Amino acid sequence: MTERSGWVPDGVDTGLPSAARLYDYLLGGGHNFAADRALAEKFLRAQPNARTIARLNRSFLRRAVLYLVGRGVRQFLDLGSGIPTVGNVHEIAWRAAPEARVVYVDYEAVAVAHSRMMLAHDERAAVLQEDLTDPDAVLAAARRTGLLDLAEPLGLLTVGVLHFVAPEDDPAGVLAAYRDAVAPGSGLALSQFTADLQPVEMAGIVEVMKKSTNPVHPRSLAEITEFFAGFEIVEPGVVPLPLWRPEEGAVGEVDPARAGILAGVGSKR
- Quick check: 267 and 182 in contact, CB under 8 A? no
Distances (CA, A) of 228 to 52, 69, 171, 242: 26, 19, 11, 20
Per-position pLDDT tens, the chain of length 269: 345 455 566 666 778 888 888 888 998 888 888 999 999 999 999 999 999 999 999 999 999 999 999 999 999 999 999 887 767 999 999 999 999 999 999 998 888 887 888 788 889 999 999 999 999 999 999 999 999 999 999 999 999 999 999 999 999 999 999 999 999 999 999 999 999 999 999 999 999 999 888 999 999 999 999 999 999 999 999 999 999 999 876 655 678 999 999 999 999 98
State the Cα torsion 14-19-21-25 to the nearest 10°: 130
Q: What is the CA radius of gyration of the chain?
A: 17
Comparing CA positions, the residue from 238, 124, 154 lying closest to residue 191 is: 238
Pick the CATH number of 52-197+215-268 from 3.90.420.10, 3.40.50.970, 3.40.50.150, 1.10.1040.10: 3.40.50.150
Please tell me the predicted confidence (pLDDT) of residue 261.
98
Domain boundaries, the chain: 52-197+215-268
Please tell me the predicted confidence (pLDDT) of residue 164.
97
Please tell me the predicted confidence (pLDDT) of residue 235.
98
Q: How far apart are CA 25 and CA 64, in angstroms?
A: 23
Strands (E), the chain: 75-79, 101-106, 125-129, 155-159, 187-193, 231-233, 239-240, 261-268
Please tell me the predicted confidence (pLDDT) of residue 249.
63
- Cis preceding-peptide flag for 236 (omega within 30 of 0): yes
Q: How far apart are CA 256 and CA 173, in angstroms?
A: 29
DSSP string, 43-82: HHHH-TTHHHHHHHHHHHHHHHHHHHHHTT--EEEEET--
Please tell me the predicted confidence (pLDDT) of residue 10.
63
Q: Given CA atoms 21, 91, 135, 245 in this order, what sign does their dihedral have?
A: negative
Please report which helix (H) or strand (E) contains residue 226, including its range. Answer: helix 221-226
SS (H, E, C) 38-52: HHHHHHHHHCCCHHH
Please tell me the predicted confidence (pLDDT) of residue 1.
39
